[in-house]
């Protein structure tokens, strides 16, 4: 087959392909391969282009045996290692290499492993504490009524933490499952915010925080999932109370509908603003990652699981809205939710 014909055939393929002639020099490549390894490879010895010993050995082995081989090929692209599975096949007298991108599959595998490791770690800490107290109560502190009462209190706290973690994990998986289902309820946003704030009154009072609700438009109806939107604003108001308590006040504002660039159209903005300690800029982009916490000790102390904002983000995605976190150290934090009008009508 002429080189022109080979070039035209592999040029039509979306996967990177490299053809090595009988003289071990590169005979043909396609655009996908040039995007991967660079252009100007034709005529070069394949060792200069490929460099990785596993691939070079596989080429020699395939030439010798005539059977197909499959090897891993790691390529550094823009500060990230991308992983390919390279199939080396003999098309006598040439050897053909095709590259299958495995990066996404490997990333998903890594995310799953990280997730399991995180969940196990989060559960292990309270479990270890519980086991320690059970041992103490059945031994040394068996007849000590004061210690017993204190330890039981701590045990209840730890058990509650595990329950909350499991509940939030279940919520997260339910929310993810429904992410592509369009919400259908008519939701009165002002009433929803008022009821969220009422539900959190005891918590606000305990932290000595006043929660103000400012409704610039009322009533304001949107189409959404009432239960999920309640969850979003509960999480945000709760965070404001937990982490912004030093500022004493929390202001929840429902703005009038307006044209928002962020939504590329009409929408409503709801913001939850505290005057607490704020969050350093480099943390902000990562807050919606599962288990990401600025200060995990403090989060655990106030009963946090690190899943609240991940849940918020998924629910807002389902509503085709946007989440914006603005914060300044020492000044406070404002979390804004933008919900589009278009998908809500």
Q: Which residues bind ligand ADP (CB under 6 A)?
A: 235, 239-240, 243-244, 274, 276, 279, 287, 293-295, 299, 304-310, 333
Q: Smaller CB distance to ligand ADP: residue 114 or 295?
A: 295
The CA dihedral of 58, 64, 66, 67, to the nearest 10 degrees, is -40
Q: Smaller CB distance to ligand ADP: residue 84 or 243?
A: 243
What are the φ/ψ torsions at residue 334 (nearest 5 degrees)? -125, 120
Q: Smaller CB distance to ligand ADP: residue 147 or 166?
A: 166
Q: What tokens appear for 144 in the block? A: 């000590």
Work out how close the CB of 317 gets to ligand ADP at its nearest, in angstroms, rounded to a whole number: 15
Work out how close the CB of 301 gets to ligand ADP at its nearest, in angstroms, rounded to a whole number: 10
Q: Smaller CB distance to ligand ADP: residue 209 or 263?
A: 209
Q: What is the DSSP letter of 288?
A: T
Q: Smaller CB distance to ligand ADP: residue 126 or 244?
A: 244
The alpha carbon of 313 is separated from its chain's Cα centroid by a whole number of angstroms, namely 9
Instruction: Please enumerate, as own/partner, the contacts of 56-59 that have beta carbons within 8 Å and a separation of 24 or more.
Output: 58/86, 58/88, 59/20, 59/88, 59/95, 59/97
Q: Smaller CB distance to ligand ADP: residue 276 or 340?
A: 276
**Residue 97 near residue 20 (C-beta atoms within 8 A):** yes
Work out how close the CB of 214 gets to ligand ADP at its nearest, in angstroms, rounded to a whole number: 18
Could you identify the residue written with the tokens 């691939």?
Answer: 55
Q: Smaller CB distance to ligand ADP: residue 27 or 293?
A: 293
Range list of β-strands (E), 207-344? 210-215, 221-224, 249-254, 258-260, 265-274, 322-328, 332-340
Distances in Å between the Cα of 339 and the Cα atoms of 83, 251, 263, 264, 298 are 38, 19, 8, 11, 31
Q: Smaller CB distance to ligand ADP: residue 58 or 200?
A: 200
What are the φ/ψ torsions at residue 328 (nearest 5 degrees)? -135, 130
Work out how close the CB of 243 gets to ligand ADP at its nearest, in angstroms, rounded to a whole number: 3
In 51-140, which ranges are continuous DSSP H helix? 53-65, 103-138
Q: Smaller CB distance to ligand ADP: residue 86 or 175?
A: 175
**Residue 175 near residue 314 (C-beta atoms within 8 A):** yes
Rg (CA), the chain: 29
Work out how close the CB of 29 gets to ligand ADP at its nearest, in angstroms, rounded to a whole number: 47
Buried b (16+ CB within 10 A) or exposed e, 305-325: bbbbbbbbbbbbebbbbbbeb
Pairing of strands 221-224, 185-188: antiparallel
């Amino acid at each position: 087959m002429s080189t022109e014909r080979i070039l035209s055939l592999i040029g039509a393929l979306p996967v990177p392909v490299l053809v090595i002639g009988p003289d071990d020099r590169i005979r043909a490549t396609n655009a996908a391969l040039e995007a991967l390894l660079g252009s100007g490879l034709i005529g070069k010895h394949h060792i200069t282009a490929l460099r990785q010993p596993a691939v070079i050995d596989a080429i020699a082995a395939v030439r010798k045996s005539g059977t197909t081989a499959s090897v891993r090929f790691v390529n550094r692209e823009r500060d990230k290692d991308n992983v390919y599975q390279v199939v080396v096949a003999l098309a006598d007298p040439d050897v053909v290499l095709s590259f299958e991108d495995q990066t996404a599959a490997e990333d998903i595998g890594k995310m799953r492993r990280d997730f399991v490791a995180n969940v196990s770690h989060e559960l292990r800490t309270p479990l270890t504490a519980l086991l320690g107290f059970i041992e103490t109560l059945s031994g040394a502190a068996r007849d000590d009524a004061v210690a017993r009462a204190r330890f039981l209190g701590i045990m209840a706290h730890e058990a509650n933490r595990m329950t909350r973690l499991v509940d939030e994990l279940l919520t997260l998986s339910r929310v993810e499952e429904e992410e592509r289902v369009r919400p259908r309820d008519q939701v009165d946003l002002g009433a929803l915010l008022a009821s969220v704030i009422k539900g959190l009154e005891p918590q606000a009072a305990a932290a000595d925080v006043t929660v103000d609700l400012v409704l610039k438009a009322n009533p304001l109806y949107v189409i959404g999932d009432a239960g999920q939107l309640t969850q979003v604003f509960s999480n945000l108001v709760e965070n404001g109370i937990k982490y912004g308590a030093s500022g004493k006040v929390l202001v929840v504002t429902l703005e009038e509908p307006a044209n928002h660039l962020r939504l590329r159209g009409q929408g409503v903005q709801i913001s939850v603003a505290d005057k607490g300690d704020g969050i350093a800029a480099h943390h902000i982009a990562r807050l919606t990652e599962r288990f990401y916490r600025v200060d995990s000790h403090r989060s655990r102390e106030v009963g946090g699981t690190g899943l609240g904002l991940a849940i918020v983000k998924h629910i807002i995605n389902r509503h085709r809205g946007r989440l914006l976190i603005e914060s300044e150290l020492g000044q406070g934090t404002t979390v804004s939710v933008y919900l589009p009008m278009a998908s809500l009508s």
